[in-house]
Amino acid sequence: MLRTHTCGELTRDHEGTAVTLCGWVQNWRDHGGLVFVDLRDRYGITQVVFNPQSHPDVHAVARTLRSEWVIQVSGRVVLRPSDMVNPNIATGDIEVRADALKILNRSKTPPFEPSAFDLPNEELRLKYRYIDLRRPVLRDALVLRHKLTQAARNYFDRHGFLEIETPMLGRSTPEGARDYLVPSRVHPGSFYALPQSPQLYKQILMVAGLDRYYQIARCFRDEDLRADRQPEFTQIDVEMSFVERDDILQIIDGLVAEMLEAVGRSAPSLPLPRYSYAEVMERFGTDKPDMRFGMELVDISSIVANCEFGVFRNTIESGGRVRGLNAPQAAEKYSRRIIDELTRFVGDFGAKGLAFFRVKDGALDSPIAKFFDSETQQAIIRTMDARPGDLLFFVADKDAVSSPALAALRNRLGRELQLYDPNDLNVLWVIDFPLFGWNEDERRWDAEHHPFCFPVVEDIPLLETDPGAVRAQSYDLVCNGCEAGSGSIRIHDPEVQGKVFALLGIDAAEAERRFGFLLEALRYGAPPHGGIALGLDRWVMLLSGLTNIRDVIAFPKTQRAADLMTGAPSPVDERQLRELHIRVDLPAD
């Protein structure tokens, strides 16, 4: 080893020790006499002092050091004078008096410095990712990520799970997300697809009798990106045989507790709370509620059904509802201009308007308050549990519009009004999802989770009569309003599978063409089984307090799915295309 210690470990206890450190020059301060260097590695920062009297040759070289040069320093650990301790770094009690210095490598002047106070734009950071990754916040996220996967591996190993790899080159199954395709050289005109998830493989592993499977699995989806979505991402993928829903929830409860413990968070009380889909949709308007704060949705339809305000009355007459929420003590904080902005905000979700009332002098204050008689106003105040200074918002529409709009508004207000501690963690289950959702555009049923999800047994007869009422044996793990895991008990009975496919508009021939290999496998002794996948990247975000998925992935892609460091994707040689039997047909212009 070129070093005896790291830059993060020396303390008072090492006083007098001869050490050799390696690292990057984070900063240097040349006093003409003494030269100070802040030496950084993965573990921390240590101050090195070069003295012209004791080691003039070494000192002369030290004066030439520049940012991000890589050096090896030998010297003795000394205590700093008490008034020169640096409380900002872990090694601030000591410094290393250098008696030898070797420049291991020089650096071009970096385009930005990892210690900079003003971060450069993300484009530059992504191009020089290796410099950005020297910053503690990104380094810490990768460390936390490692701890999480390590905790998961330990946990699964203790519980008898096998880590099994599944193919990256698989068969395209056209539903779900868009596939990333890989052309086959030896099968002209045929393509592999990168896995959107190992879903079908893991079910087949259960048919094979492997019983308990897990994998830290890379998944690929060619869809538009978001702050929390990358084209390739990682799932902690799990499947178990001979289990019922509660068995999965229980095993994942334990995993969550272990992961939180591994990163130094306090253990959640188990079992994690479980809420039905119907309940959270009614109370929060979303299937991934952030329960770190209240501000629940309230239905005032019955109060305003006969009011003078046409928008409310007409909405209710045509089968919609008027629902809203109470932003506590926000009446003064939100000006008309900001409320107009909130109106545009809910408009993004299709809401045609946002009614608001300030609660003032025991009544409602608003441009539309005149449409509500005093009795109605009092009823609204009572129902909304409103106090003077509160600000009430309402959206009148069918639930399909008002729920997402109000849920987004609730999240935004909760954050802006600081209704919760951002360091809190709130983890919960949502269960009893509907098996199908009605696709209005295409006039048909879609699988809410995926087509292999088992119905609640007592609901199976409803498949024939009322598909929309059939509940699924599926479950989502929700953390701080973020979908952090999703799974289900699978269909292991070909007959039930056939009925579900039929409802989804997939006839036998079509099913055979798309999933024949799975259906065939299910006919050879498939055990009852089920599983779940946790979004690793999102867990790292949540536990790091970061809001951007790029910050928890070593080499992420931009919103247009490009890697600015390597230049991927890129055109390829004509010869490569010929070998793959591919002719590129670019759109004109």
Q: Which stretch binds RNA (CB under 7 A): 108-116, 239-247, 254-262, 459-467?
A: 108-116
Query: C-beta of 558: minimal distance to RNA in Å?
Result: 3
Look at residues 434, 441, 432, 448 and name the one whose alpha carbon lies nearest to residue 504: 448
Q: Which stretch binds RNA (CB under 7 A): 136-144, 301-309, 368-376, 554-562?
A: 554-562
305, two tokens = 């059904």
Residues 378-417 that bind RNA (CB under 7 A): 404, 408
CA distance 537 to 199: 18
User: What is the distance of C-alpha 219 from the center of its chain?
Assistant: 14
Of the candidate residues 86, 184, 343, 426, the single one contacting RNA (CB under 7 A): 86
Q: Which stretch binds RNA (CB under 7 A): 11-19, 256-264, 379-387, 442-450?
A: 442-450
The residue behind tokens 């024949």 is: 516
Q: How many residues bind RNA (CB under 7 A)?
A: 71
Of the candidate residues 43, 112, 371, 420, the single one contacting RNA (CB under 7 A): 112
Q: Which stretch binds RNA (CB under 7 A): 88-96, 136-144, 162-170, 521-529?
A: 88-96
Query: C-beta of 286: minimal distance to RNA in Å?
Result: 11
| CA-CA-CA-CA torsion sign (176, 178, 182, 184) | positive
Of the candidate residues 223, 340, 464, 466, the single one contacting RNA (CB under 7 A): 223
The phi, psi pair for 272, rounded to 5°, reads -60, 145
439, two tokens = 């696709």
Q: Does 51 bind RNA (CB under 7 A)?
A: yes
Query: C-beta of 226: minimal distance to RNA in Å?
Result: 4
Q: What is the CA radius of gyration of the chain?
A: 30
Q: Which stretch binds RNA (CB under 7 A): 241-249, 351-359, 375-383, 558-566?
A: 558-566
Of the candidate residues 443, 560, 575, 583, the single one contacting RNA (CB under 7 A): 560
What residues does 483 pair with on adjacent strands?
Answer: 478
30 vs 296 by CB, closer to RNA: 30
Report whether 30 contacts 63 (CB < 8 A).
Answer: yes
Residues 225-244 that bind RNA (CB under 7 A): 225-229
Q: Does 95 bind RNA (CB under 7 A)?
A: yes
Q: Does 546 bind RNA (CB under 7 A)?
A: no
Q: Does 120 bind RNA (CB under 7 A)?
A: yes
Look at residues 269, 261, 274, 264 and name the one whose alpha carbon lies nearest to residue 155: 261
Residues 448-477 that bind RNA (CB under 7 A): 448-451
Task: Identify the three-state secondary structure at position 308.
Answer: coil
Query: C-beta of 124: minimal distance to RNA in Å?
Result: 5
Residues 327-356 that bind RNA (CB under 7 A): 348-349
* Number of Cβ within a 10 Å radius of residue 340: 11
Residues 161-180 that bind RNA (CB under 7 A): 173, 175-178
Helix axes of 277-284 and 399-416: crossing angle, nearest 10 degrees: 70
Residues 180-219 that bind RNA (CB under 7 A): 196-197, 199
User: What is the distance of C-alpha 76 from the center of its chain?
Assistant: 45
Of the candidate residues 10, 38, 214, 248, the single one contacting RNA (CB under 7 A): 38
CA distance 366 to 373: 13
Query: C-beta of 173: minimal distance to RNA in Å?
Result: 7
Q: Does 11 bind RNA (CB under 7 A)?
A: no
Helix (H) or strand (E) holding 155: helix 136-158
Task: Identify the three-state secondary structure at position 480.
Answer: coil
Q: How many CA atoms lie within 13 A of 306 on its CB side?
A: 2
Cis previous bond, 271, omega within 30: yes
Q: Does 554 bind RNA (CB under 7 A)?
A: no
